[in-house]
Amino acid sequence: MTGSAHVLDDLEARGLVQDHTDRDALYEALGAGPVVLYAGFDPTADSLHLGNLVPLLVLRRFQDFGHRPIVLAGGATGMVGDPGGRSDERNLLDPEALRANTAAIKVQLAQFLAFDGEAAAILVDNRDWTEGVTLLDFLRDVGKHVTVNQMTAKDSVRNRLESETGISFTEFSYMLLQAHDYWWLYTNHDCVLQLGGSDQWGNITAGIDLIRRKEAATVHGLTVPLMTRADGAKFGKSQDGSIWLDPAKTSPYQFFQYLVQMGDRDAERFLLQLTLLPVERCAEIVAEHQRAPERRLAQRELARALTTLVHGEAASSGAEQASAVLFGGPVDGLDEAGFEVLAAEVPTVDLEPGELGAGVELVDAMVRGGLATSKGDARRTIEQGGVYVAGEQTRDVERKLSGGDAVGGRYVLLRRGKANHLLLREAG
């Protein structure tokens, strides 16, 4: 994608602009040629979550328009904790946990940007330039340029000062550290634009002020809206916690299901804000969705596009296939990727090579996999028509499962009632 002056138009069309410095000056800077910009991500956990994708994909959008993104892993700021958007003090992580978290999120950050070509992204860790700075140097070179009046005027600080818990000096200093980051990236990488969530506006403007005072230079800031769902809930959160990008913490199936089950208003908005689909294509999907909302086209397109972006095409396809089967679709449509996704979501019994060829008693398989509490329970359920083999009802209590029941020669899916599944998987 080219035409760098239009990236701001694209962001505004997607509803991705909250606050910014002078728009005309920013628009002109972006139109004059490629600029260097950055966004930071603190390693408060060993994985990014779905909400982190918004600023990360904004970096990607800038890169697609020819600009050069810097993605910052906050190995230093993560040791302090950002007071923005919080009503209480963040628990401090020990150095070992921070190192592990930083290493983990660096891998994820690198997944969404191109690190070669003219607009090659740069991955940095602010611990590299912060750890060696002495307290006295920091107070002299950063602290003297920022007044307490300026800091307490920022919403992120003022809200905490007015809360019952107040704010510690540690978190109060976070703004100075982030301002120092912007100054360092400006002087070492010619970075002239910082991105962040709307709760970062105070920190961003502190960096802009620091660069103006120290370097007599004009730089820019831009924030995106915090992602909330139509019901006001924080986006990326489920009833049980965050929707993580790490498949070991949130499986591709669970990720897909979270997206496909959201409401119409959310799906339509996040098609624009969380996928790389062109604005025009998003409008086409929404228009088609509105003609037949019961088909949930917007949700399915969102889930398909975003799961592919985060987990890859095979995992996305497998998650979609597994979703269809677990909600009553045919089993024979699953490929191996789909069955492997399914194996992570339902009880699975691993069979030895050749077991299906020799025949596996259905009753024994049900007990072995926990689909029945005993052989008697299994027989009664089969006789009552409550058991399905590969989607087909069976009442044969003497039935043996064989290779003929297996999809791909390896997988047999059993179901008890409407929602209890068991997968038999023969070693390949």
Sign of CA dihedral 44, 46, 49, 55: positive
The residue type of 316 is S
Give residue 232's pLDDT.
Answer: 73
The first and second tokens of residue 227, run together, are 């992602």
pLDDT tens profile 32-63: 989 999 999 988 889 999 989 999 999 999 99
- Indicate the average pLDDT of the chain: 89
- pLDDT above 50 (res 83): yes
Q: What is the mean pLDDT of residues 251-277?
A: 93
Q: What sections of 221-295 are H helices per DSSP? A: 252-260, 264-274, 279-291
Nearest to 113 by CA among 48, 62, 78, 74: 62
- What is the rounded average pLDDT of the residues 392-404? 92
Taken in order of first residue, the domains within the chain and their CATH numbers are 4-224 (3.40.50.620), 237-329 (1.10.240.10), 346-426 (3.10.290.10)
Question: What average pLDDT score do residues 224-243 get?
Answer: 74
The residue among 195 and 77 whose pLDDT is bigger is 195
Q: What pLDDT is recorded for position 240?
A: 59
The whole-number pLDDT of residue 4 equals: 38
Residue 5, pLDDT score: 46
Over residues 203-227, mean pLDDT: 95
Residue range 180-189: average pLDDT? 97
CA distance 80 to 71: 19
Q: What would the two tokens of residue 273 be?
A: 């804000």
pTM: 0.83
How sure is the predictor about 236, in pLDDT bands with cuts at 50, 70 and 90? low
Residue 295: Cβ within 10 Å count: 11
pLDDT tens track for 103-120: 999 999 999 999 998 899
Question: Three-state DSSP class for 389?
Answer: strand
Q: How far apart are CA 79 and CA 131, in angstroms?
A: 11
Mean pLDDT of 174-187: 95
Residue from 50, 85, 40, 58 nearest 199 by CA = 85
The band of 323, judged by pLDDT with boundaries at 50, 70 and 90, is confident
First to last CA, the chain: 44
String of DSSP letters for 80-142: T---TT-SSPPPPPPHHHHHHHHHHHHHHHHTTS--SSTT--EEEETHHHHTT--HHHHHHHT
